[in-house]
Amino acid sequence: MRQSRFAGSVRLLALLLVLPLPGFRSAAAPIVIGEPGRLTTITREVSWPAGTAIQLVGPVVVDSGGVLRIAAGARVEASVGAFIAVSRDGWIDAAGTLEEPVELTCATVPRFTGCWGGLIVQGNARINVGETSSPAGGRGGVGGCRESLEPIVPELAFGGCNDADSSGALRHLRIEYAERGLQLQGVGSTTVIERVQVNRSRFDGALIIGGTANARELFLTANGTGLRWSGGWRGAAQRVAIQQDVANFRAALVGQNASVAGGDVDAEPRSAPTLFNLTILAQSIPGNPTHASARALVFERGTAGTLRNAFLYAPHVALDIVDAATCLQLASGALSLRHVVTAGATSAGEGTVDAACGRTEAEVLGDPAAANVVLPLASGLLASSNDLLLPDLRPVAGAALATATAAAPGGGFISGPAYVGAVQPAAQSGQIPWFSGWTNPAPTPAPIPNGTVAGRVVSPFRGALAGVTVRDAVTGASAVTTAAGTYSLSLPAGTALLEVPAVPVECTVPGARSAPVQPMMTTAFDLSVDCWPFPGNTRIDAGDGFACGVADQGTFCWGLNTRGQLGNGTTTDATLPVQVFGTFTSVAAGLAHACGREVSGVVRCWGAGDAGQTGVGPTIDRPIPAPVSGGHLFAGVTSGRAHSCAVKADGSVWCWGDNTRGQLGDGSTTASGVPVQVASSVLFAAVSAGGSHTCALDRAGAAYCWGDGTEGQLGDGTSVGRAVPAAVATLERFAAIAGGGDAHSCATTAAGGVRCWGANESGQLGDGTQVRRLAPVAVASGQVLGGVALGARHSCAVREASTIGCWGLNTTGQRGDGTLSIQSTPTTIVGSPNMSAVTAGPDFSCGITFGAVTSDGGGGIIISLRSLLCWGRNERGEFGRGDQASSLTPVPGATGLTFPR
């Protein structure tokens, strides 16, 4: 079960949302809501009033306990990157009237399609996509039905078991110039949706995924696609008018069962909505970029549905039934089109469809047994044909459409007189259609010039990354970085999704990152890539009295083994490396347990399990690696004192084990023997577990921490613990982050600076003092640093010159400089061997030497093997060299092992 996602995890700027305090603002002052790039969460009842502009500068989520009331006449102006999402546990009441509709639009001048995100409403009704993991309680009452994650805010799960759920009410609402105008995700049948216009959305005007939502009088104008459904929608809609822009649109209506291409076309519950009284104006011209595929009705991916009393005006293609799965629904009668009038189509159908249909689309639309009619001309049928400025979709009195035979409504939600189309023919002079007065025209906008996104792709040590590709996942546009690591992309206004799909082998591919694109403006947007200073992530990690590493010969551990932390099936200590049962690409060592990630993404853990830190359920020790529960696939794993965490490719973080200080980040302090999801809407790229706290970086490089905060190790400016992620108090963005084994944390900037925070009694923050810091301070180093590793009270990093520098506690020689003195700034280890990686245990450290590259004299090269050097305490065989002799300076370790480049 997912826990509360947002409580305490973001700044609640909803205090601005309108408690009209004396002296707070004048009546005309704008109300500013949100924070650019950060979610604002509403968890109580708030109201957005009319009479003043409401400026939405960042995304807003209405979560559990939250009620958002938008007053009649209110106008919300959103910035690029802003959107409104109502979770399945939230509620919305947009209470517009005919005279005073609610308007959701964008703040840019000029406005353009996609200049803000749109409105997402979620519910607890059944869907046919996702896992059967919906929670009991809430508005659903029953758990175990399918739930799916919202892709923009993956922490928001929608769907459940309550088809009669209500997410609130939308009345006389206009949504304009959004990426996707209105999204209904698992919304139930008692949600009120009446008289909603969606105008000039970049993609879908209305997108309905599953649920049983009912809607009446939708006016969808000049959107990329007017109406799309998938995921098992079984609601009803009556009086729906879809008016496409002649010059540019994709399709008017698209019905699907499977939510994604290649998905289960027979997933249950099957999409089977009922639509009565539909008018589609889908006239197209050759200048339309999508002219060849511009269609009025598209049914695909196994959808069923009932369509009655529809009018299709002058479409390029009137009907397209795409695949065999949908043809089977047509043949069985589960997909039914009756009383459909098509006028002036370039082509009634796409052509001969799958044999399972038994007939062409043209034959379906011309079937007299279904009272379907195909008219050769469209003129003279409507009062105003395809006018986006002054639309009038009423049938002309006496014309073929006004006198067409129509089916009577079927009862229930569908009601009223029988007629073809979305608008009743005028019965008397002065009668106006239902969409008049509260809707806006959709004039063809002036061409919107592109904007530019430009910046650098940089990494610690490596600095600028030349010759790598930066690509916008939305448009496919790409650019290759220069020798200085710079790139520049000219992109359509809206939101770009930038990715670096391929990086050097010693670097980690970063997650995609959203960047705003403004017309005729340049947005500076640097991309940070985490790279090791020299080829090869050696993947070694030190625990308390033991260490593990991925070597050329396999995965090995050595040292203390009282809890089975060496992973070789015994509890016998080993001063020489012993092979772990399993093959791993990376390892993570905790106090007395360890975890490894297989190439497939499966994570296995071994050793102490008393707090559930092995992630396999029962709290018992495991001397042999066992897969963590849940069947998860992870991109990386980290281990703290008695807990572990792992990040997925989708940006979610999952933790298991001890949780007495909230280090699992799920909003509780209850230990868990199985992975639980960190309660955050943030998309994370990296995570690192400290002693009793955890830190992570989001995909933009911003740092967050949670768990024990008594020494300031969360870096949020306080000494308070947090059970959910809190933002570190800095505007800097980082390429890597590390949590200390005791109570400090450090992060590396893209330029190779290191910032640390938390406990500092031994100088472990490296800022030249021994003063505790509640927010990041700079490590005092004259060189570029990276690959930072934190012990209990000391820290080490690889320097630009490939030497190791350490600082902090040194009672066992863990700093490697030949002394036992405390040092609050980095000192160089004795001998200054070339090293490419370092790891730090509580009281010892190890590093991997950098193998030399030499010529063989015949045009080839010779690459020397890389070995381990260790220093500090070795009383339990931490060095892996066959003895228990400690050392104040580096000595060879991990006898017999070499490490890959």
Among 282, 360, 283, 281, smallest CA distance to 321 is for: 360
What pLDDT, in 10s, does the model give residues 745-772?
999 887 778 999 999 999 999 999 999 9
Q: Which residues contact 109 (CB under 8 A, 6 or more apart)?
A: none
Round to whole Å and give the CA distance between 160 and 145.
5
For residue 278, pLDDT beyond 50: yes
Round to whole Å and give the CA distance between 430 and 670.
67
Backbone angles phi, psi at 329, to 5 degrees: -65, -40
User: Could you tell me the CA-to-CA distances from 442 to 83, 106, 203, 445 in Å, in that order?
Assistant: 21, 15, 15, 8
CB 501 within 8 A of CB 469: yes
Among 453, 551, 533, smallest CA distance to 493 is for: 453
Residue 513 has a pLDDT of 77
Q: What's the gap between Cα 250 and its chain centre? A: 26
**Residue in the structure block whose two tokens are 């559930």:** 612
Among 658, 656, 659, smallest CA distance to 632 is for: 656
Backbone angles phi, psi at 548, to 5 degrees: -135, 155
CB 807 within 8 A of CB 823: yes
CB 78 within 8 A of CB 107: yes
CB 829 within 8 A of CB 871: yes
What pLDDT, in 10s, does the model give residues 655-709?
999 999 999 999 999 999 999 999 988 888 889 999 999 999 887 788 999 999 9
User: Confidence class of residue 9 from pLDDT cuts 50, 70 and 90?
Assistant: very low
What pLDDT, in 10s, does the model give residues 384-408?
877 888 888 888 888 888 888 899 9
CB 417 within 8 A of CB 433: no
User: Confidence class of residue 284 from pLDDT cuts 50, 70 and 90?
Assistant: confident
Q: What are 374's two structure tokens?
A: 């195909």
**Residue in the structure block whose two tokens are 């002054």:** 390
What pLDDT, in 10s, does the model give residues 777-786?
999 987 878 7
Write the DSSP assignment of 476-531 as a string of letters. --EEE--TTSEEEEEE-SEEEEEE-----TTB-PPPPEEEEE-TT-EEE--EE--B
State whether the Cα torsion 481-486-490-493 is positive or negative: positive
Q: Looking at the chain, how many residues does it have?
A: 901
User: Confidence class of residue 28 from pLDDT cuts 50, 70 and 90?
Assistant: low
Round to whole Å and give the CA distance between 881 and 140.
60
Residue 8 has a pLDDT of 31
How is residue 445 annotated by DSSP? P
User: Confidence class of residue 10 from pLDDT cuts 50, 70 and 90?
Assistant: very low
Rg (CA), the chain: 31
Q: What are 323's two structure tokens?
A: 């695949």
What pLDDT, in 10s, does the model give residues 512-540?
777 878 788 888 888 877 664 333 234 78
751 or 30, which is more confident: 30
How is residue 602 annotated by DSSP? -
8 or 812, which is more confident: 812
CB 491 within 8 A of CB 464: no
Q: What are the beta bridge partners of residue 544? A: none
User: Confidence class of residue 618 from pLDDT cuts 50, 70 and 90?
Assistant: confident
CB 676 within 8 A of CB 706: no
SS3 string of 33-53? Answer: ECECCECEEECCEEEECCCCE
Residue 856 has a pLDDT of 47
Report the mean per-residue pLDDT for the chain.
Answer: 87
Give me the mean pLDDT over the 300-326 stretch.
94
Backbone angles phi, psi at 365, to 5 degrees: -70, -20
For residue 12, pLDDT beyond 80: no
The maximal CA–CA distance of the chain, rounded, in angstroms, is: 103
Q: What are 67's two structure tokens?
A: 């009620």
Q: What are 741's two structure tokens?
A: 């084994």
Residue 462 has a pLDDT of 59
Give me the mean pLDDT over the 855-860 stretch.
49
Alpha helical stretches, state H, 374-481: none
**Residue in the structure block whose two tokens are 């005006």:** 313
Among 93, 92, 90, smallest CA distance to 139 is for: 90
CB 537 within 8 A of CB 531: no
Between 332-346, 799-813, 873-887, the lowest mean confidence (pLDDT) is in: 799-813
Three-state DSSP at 370 gives helix
Round to whole Å and give the CA distance between 619 and 612.
5
CB 850 within 8 A of CB 866: yes
Q: Which residues contact 87 (CB under 8 A, 6 or more apart)?
A: 5, 61, 62, 63, 64, 66, 122, 156, 158
User: Confidence class of residue 554 from pLDDT cuts 50, 70 and 90?
Assistant: very high
Neighbours of 133 (CB within 10 A): 15
Residue 429 has a pLDDT of 54
User: Confidence class of residue 170 from pLDDT cuts 50, 70 and 90?
Assistant: very high
Between 200-209, 307-316, 344-353, the lowest mean confidence (pLDDT) is in: 344-353
Among 308, 275, 154, smallest CA distance to 208 is for: 275
